[in-house]
Structure 1
Amino acid sequence: MLRIGLTGGIAAGKSVVATRLSERGAVLVDADRLSREVVAPGTDGLDAVVDAFGRGVLGGDGSLDRAALGSLVFSDEDARRTLNDIVHPRVRAEAARRIAAAPLDAVIVQDIPLLVETGQADAFPLVVVVQAPAGARVRRMVEQRGMSDADARARMAAQATDAERAAVADVLLHNDGTVEDLRAAVDRLWDERIVPFDANLAAGRPSDAAIARATLASGAGPDLDGAALARAAARIRHAGADSLQRVTPAVRSDDSAAGPDLIAVAARPGDLDALATAVTAAGHPPVPPAGSVPGARRLHGSADPGQPVVVLLLDREGDRERTEP
């Protein structure tokens, strides 16, 4: 099962991307829709919101008046934090329930508007970010949602910046053309990256590019940038927090037998097997035996064809000298 985190600023075009991914076969888990469901009439979530903000946030029919609530929280950081503390745990619990009910071979796309703000990026093997020019986003909110220019800009200011979202992005979709252009970009992403990524995970093997890098084969492709290695290292820390002792991204060695630039991960004593399982779950299955590194216990590679990261697993801190630059 491949899990993809999808995010983007308000009115950036994320819903177009989510819809197209769903049309191509992904199982969509929409956090915004869930955020409405967990505060629907009769839920304990709505009771908690009323307790925190008063009955003035209710409409005449007893449902949540989202506009009234929004006017309270989008200009007040403490109020926004209180609301998030009510809604986010309930949304995550419901999202987990729906993911557990999905087919084991499903591609899961979690549409999370506040993925960056809530620190969830490291939980996904692939993060897709949709961006659009600020002026276009404001215009959409004014014309399509009836907001004032000031309200639209306040909503944008309450979210992460474009730079903060780009920092966690494995894929950055620029919505600066037509809807058809954006849908075509999603189709390319699905066909060229998501489908092979998912197939590699299902087969329990790294991508051909990662195997080539790990085995020092010709045509292994260009070196990865530091941001890609840092994202992979963060995912490994997240997945293997209970079993890893140290993560060292972007290790370089002059010894050709030691492999290409890679991430070195040291297990806690006795936890090498558990760490290998966690690294695999983070999207880095074991490299076939032909790619083994002399002196190393385990070598893994990313199943993502777009980021051929190689991960070296070590079973003790004493192996450190083998991987120092």
Structure 2
Amino acid sequence: MIVGITGGIGTGKSFVASYIKEKGYPIVSSDEISSVLMKKGNQNYLNIVDAFGKAVLLSNGEINRKKLGQLIFSNKEDRALLNKITHPNIIEELKKQGTAHKLVFLEIPLLFEANLEYMVDEIWVVACSEDIQINRIVKRDEITQKEALLKIRSQYPLAEKKKKAHFIINTNESKKNIYKEIDQLINRLEKKNKWIL
């Protein structure tokens, strides 16, 4: 059983995934896979340097993720190019790690944007109000509200993601309520798929 966890930027996907991991369930994060594959010498690193040049590198030769992020969030063509050259390797690794368990949670922020719905049996969309989203992004990335909004607008609309969800986890709530909601979803999964235990 493969559950896809997705949602908009700053909605709390990693918070939800981290709680599920604490409960002892395997989590595979496409962002973590992407980070590893972007390290110096790895395939996506080579593809990125080839496409965007050395201007996206730090002095130690590693990719300047902040600079690359600014490039792709302000330019649709650059974003499409980055996705084209990095997604195949990320997807391959997701498939590899996703089939290694009877029950696994794949944290994939761009699940819909990358058309990866086919990889999962169930989709959980993590959502919150746009105001909360903006505040979280501003605080986390140390950027302006305008830049945060640009990041939000560069993704598939959260309202559309919610329509495609099997379940929606609302992170406007208190931590206690969010944990309770996740526990209920996991209990339902375990009852439905007794073979998991």
- TM-score for the superposition, normalised by structure 1: 0.58
The match for 1:139 is 135
Counting helix residues as a fraction of each chain, which structure ranks higher?
2
The match for 1:70 is 69
Distance 2:50 2:87 in 1: 17
Shift of 1:202: 5.7
Does the C-alpha gap of structure 1 residues 14 and 202 become closer, same or farther in structure 2, counting only changes over 3 Å? closer
Q: Secondary structure at the match of 1:185?
A: helix
Shift of 1:160: 1.1
What amino acid sits opposite 1:163 in the alignment? A
Conserved? CA contact 1:116–1:164, under 8 Å: no
Residues 231-274 of structure 1, C-alpha deviation per residue, up to 9 Å, x if partnerless? xxxxxxxxxxxxxxxxxxxxxxxxxxxxxxxxxxxxxxxxxxxx
Residues 6-52 of structure 1, C-alpha deviation per residue, up to 9 Å, x if partnerless? 10111101111111112223211100111111111111211110111
Q: Which has the higher contact order (CA 8 A, sep 6+)?
A: 2
Conserved? CA contact 2:47–2:86, under 8 Å: no
Distance 1:108 1:61 in 2: 36
Over the residues paired in the alignment, what is the CA RMSD in angstroms? 1.6
Conserved? CA contact 2:98–2:106, under 8 Å: no
The match for 1:155 is 151
- Identify the match of residue 130 of structure 1 among 118, 126, 129: 126
The match for 2:175 is 179
The match for 1:194 is 189
- TM-score for the superposition, normalised by structure 2: 0.94
Residues 183-217 of structure 1, C-alpha deviation per residue, up to 9 Å, x if partnerless? 221111111x2112332x669xxxxxxxxxxxxxx
- Identify the match of residue 109 of structure 1 among 82, 97, 105: 105
Conserved? CA contact 1:107–1:198, under 8 Å: no
* Higher CA-based Rg: 1
What amino acid sits opposite 1:36 in the alignment? S
Conserved? CA contact 1:16–1:183, under 8 Å: no
The match for 2:115 is 119
2:52 corresponds to 1:49: no
Distance 2:51 2:140 in 1: 30
Q: Secondary structure at the match of 1:82?
A: helix
The match for 1:90 is 89
Distance 1:107 1:63 in 2: 35
Q: Secondary structure at the match of 1:74?
A: helix
The match for 2:33 is 34
Distance 1:48 1:144 in 2: 28
Distance 1:7 1:111 in 2: 6
Distance 2:22 2:157 in 1: 29
Can you give the 5+ residue segments of structure 1 that lack an aligned partner in the other structure? 204-325
Paired residues, number: 197
Distance 1:118 1:42 in 2: 25
What amino acid sits opposite 1:116 in the alignment? F
Distance 1:123 1:62 in 2: 34
